Amino acid sequence: MTVRGYVRSHRIEPHQAARRVLGLGTGILGGAIAGAIVGRVWGLFSAGKEMPDPTAPDLHLRKALIAGAVQGLVFGLVKTALARTTAKSYRRFTQSG
């Protein structure tokens, strides 16, 4: 298959491109929001200390695993909330036009 043939067969519709751009934007925004939330949550439970670096050799495994679990939980919740909000808003916006 030639490059032109590949490009023609893999074209996306404008609405698909818009959803991909929105998904990328909300992913970046969600990462920033989740990072800030994780920092605050960790600070609340560890007397104001910063989030530990999981690759630090002197960090206890238990603390690294707890930090990873907190981070995963918050990132998952933020990602899901933003994805649902974006999908509903996109649907509402495209159906009202």
pLDDT for residue 20 is more than 60: yes
Residue 30, number of CB atoms within 10 A of its CB: 19
The pLDDT of residue 47 is 77
Query: Is residue 50 helix, strand or coil?
Result: coil
CB 64 within 8 A of CB 27: no
The tens digit of pLDDT for each residue in 60-88 reads 999 889 888 999 999 999 999 998 998 88
Instruction: Please report, to the nearest 10 degrees, the dihedral formed by the alpha carbons of residues 80, 54, 64, 52 taken in order.
Output: -90
The overall average pLDDT reported for the chain is 83
Claim: this prediction has a pTM higher than 0.75 = no
pLDDT for residue 92 is more than 80: yes
Q: What DSSP state is assigned to residue 53?
A: P
More confident residue, 17 or 25: 25
Domain residue spans of the chain? 13-96
The pLDDT of residue 14 is 74
Distance CA 66, CA 5 (A): 50
The candidate with the shortest Cα–Cα distance to 85, out of 25, 26, 14, is: 26
Q: What DSSP state is assigned to residue 59?
A: S
The pLDDT of residue 34 is 93
pLDDT for residue 5 is more than 70: no
